[in-house]
Chain A
């Protein structure tokens, strides 16, 4: 077959026989090659227009535009998102700054509360509870004498 011999001659530089098509495969490949060459010749035989590369330029420009847009969007997204990661949220900051007046306020209220308690305690004892007051004063005097007694006992023991 003439086709087979021409194929062999064109592929003769490949010495490895496993890389050389033979028989029907070689014929099929040769037919495929001829068909491809014929189609390509037909498609490219028409004379080229002056603006043959204009569509390619337009595609290139559009692709560049898309690329710039994508990078711009990515950069904008980064600028929008990154501050949230770098700094803690704003809410805790306000919590930190506010406590001072609150403490002052609580100090004031504590003082007022103490004064109120003092006032209440300083109120005169009702007449019905007067004997208890006497008892309380008696308790205090007895405790004082008890303490003096224990001190003299201690002195005696040491002597």
Chain B
């Protein structure tokens, strides 16, 4: 990666890099990748449920960002910009997967058991752990049932913890549309996951 970042500026500290919303953020692209790769990968994996595809699209996302780094004007945060690129890649991927329906693309799909196994251990009893795993599985199934836009809004809100305005900026929707999708997604999840 070092060969990619042809920079005239010294490397920025990660804290500065995360906070600053300017074109200068892209000066040290290695740092950008290091900081934002987990987030982009997480969003892609939760959107598609496929580890290998998520990894490939993460690469595509950073390659696109690197090629278009001169177009980034700093009007939105770097995180929003990268997430928007990732979102477009998800849309393209789903479209092409619909076209290539004969290809088995979910071979490496993240199993429900895999996700529930990754719940942080809070020193709880095995019974409680089982219960938590069951909850995560239920939620994962519910999220899988959502429409693409509902799922995107839901994941950006509750997994990426983005603000509604930021989600609107990333997805290109109105804030009211984002709210509407979020409301519907939550209603489906409530119906599926259980009683409040």
Residues of A within 8 A of B (CB): 10-11, 13-14, 16, 18-19, 21-25, 27-29, 31-44, 48, 50, 52-53, 55-57, 59-60
Contacts and interface: CB of A to CB of B under 8 A. Distances in A.
A36 B55 CA distance: 14
Contacts of A13: 163-164
Nearest to B60: A56
A19 B159 contact: no
B186 interface: yes
The 3 closest A-B pairs by CB, nearest first: A40-B42, A23-B196, A56-B59
B1 A52 contact: yes
Interface in B137-189: 138-140, 143, 157-159, 161, 163-164, 179, 182-183, 186, 189
Given A32-B136, A56-B59, A59-B56, A19 B182 contact: yes
Q: Is the interface of B mostly helix, strand, loop or mixed?
A: helix
Given A19-B182, A44-B37, A31 B132 contact: yes
A16 B182 CA distance: 11
A53 B63 contact: yes
Contacts of B100: none
Interface in B26-44: 33, 37-39, 41-42
27 contacts: A19-B179, A19-B183, A21-B189, A23-B195, A28-B139, A29-B189, A32-B115, A33-B161, A34-B120, A36-B115, A39-B42, A40-B45, A41-B38, A43-B41, A43-B51, A43-B55, A48-B1, A53-B1, A53-B4, A53-B66, A55-B56, A55-B59, A56-B56, A56-B59, A56-B60, A56-B63, A60-B63
Nearest to B110: A39
Nearest to B138: A28
Contact of B164 (A14, A27, A42, A53): A14
B118 interface: yes
B116 interface: yes
Interface residues of B, number: 50
Nearest to A21: B186
A21 to B, nearest CB: 6
Contacts of A48: 1, 33, 37
Contacts of A19: 179, 182-183, 186
Contact of B45 (A32, A34, A39, A55): A39
Nearest to A15: B164
B25 interface: no
Contacts of B186: 18-19, 21, 25
Contacts of B189: 21, 25, 29
Contact of B135 (A27, A50, A56): A27
Given A19-B183, A25-B190, A53-B62, A35 B119 contact: yes
Contacts of B39: 40
